[in-house]
Amino acid sequence: MNQILSDLKDFLEEKVALYNRPQFIESDPVSIPHLFERKEDIELAGFLAATIAWGNRKMIVQNANRIMAMMGNSPYDFIMHHDDRQLERLEGFVHRTFNQTDLFYFIKALRNIYLTKGGLETVFAAAVTETSTQPAIAHFKTEFFSLSAPQRTHKHVSDPAKGSAAKRINMFLRWMVRNDGCGVDFGIWKSILPSQLSCPLDVHSGNVARKLGLLTRSQNDARAVEELDISLRMMDREDPVKYDFALFGLGVFEKF
């Protein structure tokens, strides 16, 4: 590792230590799965919160909490055992372009994944490669939409195979897979390694990564994710996605 990269690694490690701590949770969508203790509740709450994680962060957390309340704050039990009358509780939900039509299908598809596919972890783990979870995200989307779905709902699950950065799903996978004892990420999925994860890439992390010389591609797409992954793995091959805390924190909180 050359001196410039070594200095950058030291700088980012300091920022990881600053933002990867429980105080980070309150204003972040990761606060939603932190309401629960059962594995299935954590992953389902996390997946639904990550699904609507775009736009105003306060509104994301507010609306994700609303979904949990509509489910009686028992997402796994609701998804697996709801009837049509209970499903009516979800009527009227909307977060930006994600509405009740989409939410109804998500409930249906998630139930199918747990009933017939072994759950979310099993589906994602089935297509992970030694160096990437991106094929696993594409595989997940295929399984998720194996039932009859409204066409409008497909856009709410990203697909790296079609060029998407899949920021929200990569963020969800970070939550489920990383286990560093700091109290933010959960580390409840053992069949995927942190070394296989990709950094959640959005406007904030992308802009910071470019200013730091970690990313040259101008678009925040699948190819940019691949380039950023290579840069981050040069600093830590075993846990490259920890730097998401640094890139995000620098962009959102420090306006770097």
pLDDT digits (tens, 9 = 90+) for 96-136: 999 999 999 999 999 999 999 999 999 999 999 988 999 99
Instruction: Decide: helix, strand or coil at residue 122.
Output: helix
Give dist(CA 182, CA 65) in Å, integer.
23
Query: Tens digits of per-residue pLDDT, 195-223?
Result: 999 999 999 999 999 999 999 999 999 99
Inform me whether the pLDDT recorded for 39 exceeds 80.
yes
pLDDT of residue 108: 96
Task: Mark 229-246 as b/e (b = at least 16 C-beta within 10 Å).
Answer: bebbbebbeebbbbbbbb
Inform me whether the pLDDT recorded for 1 exceeds 80.
no
pLDDT of residue 4: 83
Inter-CA distances, 95 with 57, 72, 193, Å: 12, 19, 32
**Residue 184 backbone dihedrals phi, psi, to 5 degrees:** -95, -65
CB within 8 Å of 198: residues ≥ 6 apart = 132, 133, 134, 166, 170, 173, 225, 226, 228, 229, 241
How do 98-99 and 94-95 pair as beta strands? Answer: antiparallel
**Residue 63 backbone dihedrals phi, psi, to 5 degrees:** -75, -35
The answer to whether 200 and 170 are in contact (CB under 8 A) is yes
pTM of the predicted model as reported, rounded to 2 decimal places = 0.96
Query: Tens digits of per-residue pLDDT, 135-164?
Result: 999 999 999 999 999 999 999 999 999 999
The answer to whether 43 and 114 are in contact (CB under 8 A) is no
Residue 10 backbone class (left: φ over 0; alpha: ψ -120 to 50; beta: rest): alpha
pLDDT of residue 84: 87
Query: Tens digits of per-residue pLDDT, 61-100?
Result: 999 999 999 999 999 999 999 998 999 999 999 999 999 9
pLDDT of residue 255: 87
pLDDT of residue 5: 85
Burial class (CB in 10 A: 0-12, 13-18, 19+), 62: exposed
pLDDT of residue 253: 92
Range 180-184 average pLDDT: 95
pLDDT-above-90 percentage for the chain: 93
